[in-house]
Amino acid sequence: MSEESYSLHLEDGKQVKLPVYPGTLGPKVVDIRKLYSQAGVFTFDPGFLATASCESKITFIDGEKGVLLYRGYPIEQLAEHSSHLEVCYLLMYGELPTAEQFAGFRESITRHTMIHEGLKNFYNGFRRDAHPMAVMVGVVGALSAFYHDSLDIHNPEHREISAHRLIAKMPTIAAWSYKFFHGQPFLYPSNKLGYAENFLRMTFGVPAEEYEVNPVVAKALDQIFILHADHEQNASTSTVRLAGSSGANPFACISAGIGTLWGPAHGGANEAVLKMLDQIGGIENVDTVIDRAEDADDPFRLMGFGHRVYKNFDPRAVIIRDACHKVLDSLGIDDPQLELAMRLEEKALKEDYFIERKLYPNVDFYSGIILKAIGIPTNMFTVMFALGRTVGWISHWMEMIKEKDSVIGRPRQLYTGPTERDYQPITSRR
């Protein structure tokens, strides 16, 4: 860490020196860990708009330039040339695998796609109309009840096998949440199929006939998983890190991340976008919708627009928008909602309201249109996001656990409640 520091001059004339550290990319950070002990004050940053919660080597985002790097590799290159499993290796281990390393990794993932037969029974405890994300939160958390042999988070082998199990089992758990919702029989994974292909067959296949994987659909889904794999310290990843800082097991931490992702301000936005497009109906309503989004008195927001970090195009949205045209053309689908989404984007990006606030389409704005085109129902969209993001959550969890000075996350607060007062018996209260 560098010798640079910032000085804080206090009211009593004292001066507190705060070390400043540079990253390899992005803003420097001011180390405030000794601020309270030396100055008796906290910093105040609800929502963490200007707070670096950790040091990380995994993903870099430049929100002003619309740049996203996984371990230094641009998302555009990975989306075009890589596969989700190769990106999983990259995010977890920090380097692209050699052919031999990748073969070993793929073999391990393939060997862990099945889930304990006892876990199948958990599905029957849910109502048939349970949201698939509710099932994911429950079943993924329940995995910790089946792997007592490998929950020592300080054991590198336990950490690795848990990571591989989660990456491998998420498609099975997700596909079965779809099957349960539709009352169809569960299909077991096939070791002959790739990652996205396996998910498609377990989701859309039926025992009565062979399932033919459409390569265009499989490629599009694999690319969706790559684009959702990681995104720095977003809300769900921060949840996983905070849960992990208490020493909780990885299955419980990932379940917490799934719960956070479900919110419509986060990963639930892809489902909210499709519901919004359904409600808007046709392009004749675009102007009215944009007016509502700009009206401070109207709680309506243009879902899939805006981002805490990107103040330029979300590079993932650009890739997905381009993929929309290719996938829909290839499948011979003419979806008016793609035209509607593009008209909304075109109109919004000309409005001062959106320009001043630097609101652009984010990853969720177009992803639902592709997911719908490949047959994924709307209530499974956020499950798809969770499936892709699992490796990001795990990679950050592993990075945090291995930190030498890892401490439990425990923020403080600005207290503005009542000062101390004495208890009053109920007979004397007014």
Considering only 135-143, 169-177, 355-363, 416-424, which stretch makes contact with ligand SDX by CB under 6 A? Answer: 355-363
Among 23, 265, 279, 326, binds ligand SDX (CB under 6 A): 265
Instruction: Give the CB-nearest residue to ligand SDX.
Output: 306
Min CB(293)–ligand SDX separation in Å: 4
- Three-state secondary structure of the chain: CCCCEEEEECCCCCEEEEEEECCCCCCCEECCCCHHHHHCCCCCCCCCCCCCCCCCCCEEEECCCCEEEECCEEHHHHHHHCCHHHHHHHHHHCCCCCHHHHHHHHHHHHCCCCCCHHHHHHHCCCCCCCCHHHHHHHHHHHHHHCCHHHCCCCCHHHHHHHHHHHHHHHHHHHHHHHHHHHCCCCCCCCCCCCHHHHHHHHHHCECCECCCCCHHHHHHHHHHHHHHCCCCCCHHHHHHHHHHHCCCCHHHHHHHHHHHHCCCCCCCHHHHHHHHHHHHCCHHHHHHHHHHHHCCCCCCCCCCECCCCCCCCCHHHHHHHHHHHHHHHHHCCCCHHHHHHHHHHHHHCCCHHHHHCCCCECHHHHHHHHHHHCCCCHHHHHHHHHHHHHHHHHHHHHHHHHCCCCCCCCCCCCCCCCCCCCCCCHHHCC
String marking each residue 188-227 x if it binds ligand SDX according to CB under 6 A: ----------------------------------------
Min CB(229)–ligand SDX separation in Å: 9
Catalytic residues: 266, 307, 364
Nearer CB in complex with ligand SDX: 50/407: 50
Q: Is 308 in the site for ligand SDX (CB under 6 A)?
A: yes
Q: Is 301 in the site for ligand SDX (CB under 6 A)?
A: yes
Considering only 11-19, 107-115, 247-255, 358-366, which stretch makes contact with ligand SDX by CB under 6 A? Answer: 358-366
Among 97, 306, 315, 388, binds ligand SDX (CB under 6 A): 306
Considering only 38-46, 135-143, 185-193, 362-370, which stretch makes contact with ligand SDX by CB under 6 A? Answer: 362-370
Nearer CB in complex with ligand SDX: 203/236: 236
Nearer CB in complex with ligand SDX: 221/344: 344
Nearer CB in complex with ligand SDX: 82/260: 260
Considering only 101-109, 189-197, 260-268, 333-341, which stretch makes contact with ligand SDX by CB under 6 A? Answer: 260-268
Nearer CB in complex with ligand SDX: 60/188: 60
Among 307, 343, 372, 396, binds ligand SDX (CB under 6 A): 307
Interaction site with ligand SDX (CB under 6 A) = 231, 234, 265-267, 269, 293, 296, 301-309, 357, 359, 362-364
